[in-house]
Amino acid sequence: MLGLLRRFVVGAGVVYAISLPFSFFIGAGMLAKPTRKHFSIDELRNALPDGASLEFLTDSREVQIQVADREHWNGTVVGGGGRATVVLLHPFGGNRCDVVAPAYALWQDGFDVILLDRRAHGRSDGDAQPLFGGEGVELGHVIDRIVQEGWTATRSIGLFGMHDAGTSCLMAAALDDRIGAVAALDPSVNARDFVAASISDWSRIPAPFVIPQSFLALLGAGLVSGVDQSEFDARSVLARLDAPTQILFDDARGADRRARTVQAAAGGTAALDPLPDSTDDVDRWAGLVDFFRVNL
């Protein structure tokens, strides 16, 4: 029995040691240049909550927004005369279909919504995904275009993002006073926390044990994408956040600690709310809808 336990410990140690150099290459290959999850209208339809009205799709149109030289974000605008506009961003590795449920809940309540594919995701182009680096500034270009084109009711604009996109939305709101309110689901104050949580979710290894892997993954991502490591930390920008803010966290993912760290970095005034564990996709986002109804 003791010999079997010793072999198990040695084997686990070898696997752990091998994972360290691999983390660098995974970061360079997957974080800097993620595999695109392509988008189609059929997928958007399939992502609608059960029983949802197809008017959500007939009321929509496709748009393209240039955020930098040879880099565009593509998205779906739904509505045009609502009480306000909410821009929604999906998490890393996904596409706009991942935010259909909250978008539908907002649209049903009278908001115009814009579902975007982030840079290097879905139908959007660009090579490097910077995690937090530079995306807040790019969201400023998105707001510019919304105001210029008049796609939606532009008198009041809000942002909502999931996971790392949530942090980008918080940073954008800190940098741009045209954003009237901002909400984020499971954000992190730095990219290392996000990567560690992702590795932990995938491997079922407690997050403290994957900190070395997350550090090496970000080192690889930074070298390939050309993003300075300082841009992977959001604290200095979040300290400037003064727009009404809601931080949602999913208890099932153990995200409450990260959410509280983000709240503290933003000055401690942001609302901190657990995401309800509901089988109804629309009801689950009722708190988010209420937040934007009050603040936009």
Do residue 90 and residue 166 come from a single domain? yes
Alpha-carbon dihedral angle through residues 51, 52, 53, 56, given to the nearest 10 degrees: -170
Phi, psi angles (nearest 5°) of residue 150: 65, 35
Q: And the tokens for 52? A: 């949802």
Range of the domain at 224: 1-31+191-231
Work out the end-to-end distance of the chain between its first and last CA atoms, rounded to an integer number of angstroms: 64
What is the number of structural domains in the chain? 2
Longest dimension (CA), the chain: 71
Parallel, antiparallel or unpaired: strands 112-117 and 157-162? unpaired
Do residue 158 and residue 204 come from a single domain? no
Do residue 49 and residue 120 come from a single domain? yes
CA distance linking residue 219 with residue 222, whole number of Å: 5
Do residue 145 and residue 61 come from a single domain? yes
Q: Can you give the pLDDT of all 296 residues of the chain as single tens digits?
A: 555 555 444 344 444 444 555 454 455 555 555 556 666 778 888 888 888 888 988 888 999 888 777 788 889 999 888 889 999 999 888 899 999 999 999 999 999 999 999 887 888 777 655 566 678 888 888 899 888 888 887 779 999 999 889 999 999 999 999 999 999 999 988 877 777 676 666 556 666 666 666 666 655 565 556 666 666 788 888 999 999 999 999 876 667 888 899 999 998 889 999 988 776 678 899 999 999 999 99
What angle separates helix 191-203 from helix 164-175, to the nearest 10 degrees?
Answer: 160
CA distance linking residue 247 with residue 228, whole number of Å: 27
Residue 249 parent element (H or E)? strand 245-249
Do residue 72 and residue 107 come from a single domain? yes
Do residue 281 and residue 141 come from a single domain? yes
